[in-house]
Amino acid sequence: MLDENARLIAAIVENQNLGKLNECIEYQKKLQDNLMTLASLADAQATPQQQAQPNPGQPQPGR
């Protein structure tokens, strides 16, 4: 899926350069679907402890 995403990004850039914006939309939709799938897989594989840990770059409530 990562290779497919790389191809989709290249196709988006190429079509943008050619002014073919309608084609870009289709590639962007597929890329978004792939990214959501990868995010879901990553979330499903995270351990409960990893999910409970705060992101160090985000401010904590009450601080």
Question: For residue 49, is it within any domain?
Answer: no
pLDDT of residue 46: 80
pLDDT at 56: 66
**Residue 3 resides in a domain:** yes
Total-model pTM = 0.69
CB-side exposure of 58: number of CA atoms within 13 Å? Answer: 5
pLDDT for position 34: 97
51 part of a folded domain:
no
pLDDT of residue 48: 67
pLDDT tens digits, one per residue of 28-50: 999 999 999 999 999 998 876 66
- Residue 5 sits in which domain range? 1-36
> Residue type for 13, please?
V
Residue 12 has pLDDT above 90, yes or no: yes
